[in-house]
Chain A
Amino acid sequence: MADVVLKKVTKRFGNVEIIHAVDLDIEDGEFVVFVGPSGCGKSTLLRLVAGLEDITDGDLFIGGRRVNAFSPKERGISMVFQSYALYPHMTVYENMAFGLELAKSSKAEIKDAVLKAADILELTPLLDRLPKQLSGGQRQRVAIGRAIVREPKVFLFDEPLSNLDAALRVQMRIEIAKLHKDMGVTMIYVTHDQVEAMTLADKIVVLNAGNVEQVGHPLQLYHNPQNLFVAGFIGSPRMNFIETAVDSASGDTVTMGLPGGGRAVAKVDGSRVRPGQKVTLGIRPEHIVLEPSESQVSGRIDVIEQLGEAYLLHVRLADGSLVTAKIAGDAPQHEGDTVTLGFDGALCHVFDEREQALPRIIETAAA
């Protein structure tokens, strides 16, 4: 078990810089999830930690040792790949034993370790099968088994569940969470799935275009996104953004006019902004109610999406922008109706012209 520390880790392919001087502390036993849109460098960052790509600049420490020049094995990591990457010509047993065999463990040790891992992952009846005779979920378990038999210091997952169907994904997610609790080992997990990130992580690292946008506990990211990108990325459906300007600002309130005569009174620290300054108001769909309120805006319903437990109203405002509201129950409205959307000023987010969030006054009160 070990902590992982990245200091100004940079990766260039030729002249193209993919990862820009990333600093990151991962504590021993922590479950860290890298999220971000496709191409943001999250997989590359994981491969840098794994040792499958060379670090161009900066230092990587695992368990206090600088491991830049170490092979994956010397780093004491193991990795689960998106495509499982099981050796097709080896049985499940041989697949899991391969790493130990290369490490020159004794036959008895290998057998003990493999049988133990197989027991944890319920693979015991399948040990003699070839990967092609297994279902997707079973293959995934073998891939995890292959990773745990070597008792790594750090466990790396590269989008491990993205090839599974929805039901299996939920099941495997729970198993991975359980595995982390039982093994207590440091885990780094790459995904583009928000639910996986929110449910599994002790700490989420949001990446965008090779930069770390924000690091924090899932709920911290949800309630206090530092900037527009994180606010838009965490949460589904994504946060509504309305471009507007400051009417008046004080140390605990910012008032903004909204399209079509609405207005918002956000409980944020407005000491950094002045009246007339352009800002972006952010409000999550699940925080919108269909009642008039101090903060409200009106618009015409464009589309209604029924989800069963809730429905989504996509409302077109006077300036043409779209706001989504998530309301519990079945929709009584019709498309084309005009509605008034109200929201609590304490749940508003305000971002300045540099897309940085103004500090909220009521910190995570809703948590």
Chain B
Amino acid sequence: MRTSVLARTGFWLLIVAIVIFAIFPFYYAVISSLRSGQALFSAAVWPDSVSIANYVSVFTGQPFGRNILNSVIVAVSVVALSLFLGVTAAYALGRVSFRGRGLLLFTILSVSMFPQVAVLSGMFELVRAFGIYNSLWSLILSNMILTLPFTVWVLTTFMRELPKELEEAAFVDGASPWTVVRRIFLPLMWPAMVTTGLLAFIVAWNEFLFALTFTLSTEQRTVPVAIALLTGATQFELPWGNIMAASVTVTVPVVVLVLIFQRRIVSGLTAGAVKG
């Protein structure tokens, strides 16, 4: 009995430690964002004064609303395009047998292992050739290099798990391949789509390097770049309050999304591995 109490106490202590480790940085960002002036430099863990001045100044000092909109446009487009291409590619890679299929799959996987910096200059040439420098299209295009490999890979794995007879039954019923994907596979792949879509959203939402390189004007920037380039009253002042307020503002939607789709994600993450 004693050991069981000890074990239980230890277990909960461990959980508390993990939670603090995970949550504290975000918590500190939240309370810092609510401080102003000299209070920013107090190391107190509890909020002593609450002011939304930082939030106001983030949105008035620069077109931060526009930046958020940019991020939303980029992230949503990337998710939509990645899922569409991912599902159609997954059908081809998971269901149609052709020469070099395995090689193609591994090429796709290996693309995702390139460090972002390595493809940066090549990507820059591509963006310039398309004439989409300093537009959101450049970000949509470049972010897909980050999201497509895992989207295709996960959806292919998931599609392979779906019984072949389902597809054949639909063919016998007179369905075209596109109908099979749309009417049979899409509804069944919903959990996997939500999971991969959300991961793609987070990647696109937080992407920094491409966004910094391919945009020039403040109006075309996405949130991570905008935050990094926030400037204070003078060149020598880092506006911590504003940075924290901006960070909290853009983190909240992601957290909310994850909470909404929480159950779907869990089932989606395991569904690919074990027959779901």
Contacts and interface: CB of A to CB of B under 8 A. Distances in A.
Given A73-B174, A85-B169, A89-B187, 13 more contacts: A52-B171, A52-B172, A71-B171, A72-B172, A77-B172, A79-B168, A81-B169, A98-B183, A99-B172, A102-B173, A102-B175, A102-B179, A103-B174
A357 interface: no
Contact of A78 (B172, B175, B187, B188): B172
B163 interface: yes
Contact of A72 (B171, B184, B188): B171
A98 B187 CA distance: 14
Interface string B150-166: 00000000000001011
Contacts of B184: 87
Interface residues of A, number: 24
Contacts of A79: 168-169, 172
B202 interface: no
Contact of A87 (B166, B168, B172): B166
A271 to B, nearest CB: 51
B170 interface: yes
Interface in A249-264: none
Contacts of B163: 83, 85
Main secondary structure of the interface of A (DSSP, over half): loop
Contacts of A320: none
Contacts of A84: 165
A89 B188 CA distance: 7
16 contacts: A50-B172, A72-B172, A73-B171, A73-B173, A78-B172, A79-B168, A79-B169, A79-B172, A81-B168, A81-B169, A82-B165, A85-B163, A87-B170, A89-B188, A98-B173, A98-B175
A126 to B, nearest CB: 19
Contacts of A78: 172-173
A99 B174 contact: yes
Nearest to A104: B174
A52 B169 CA distance: 10
A43 to B, nearest CB: 12
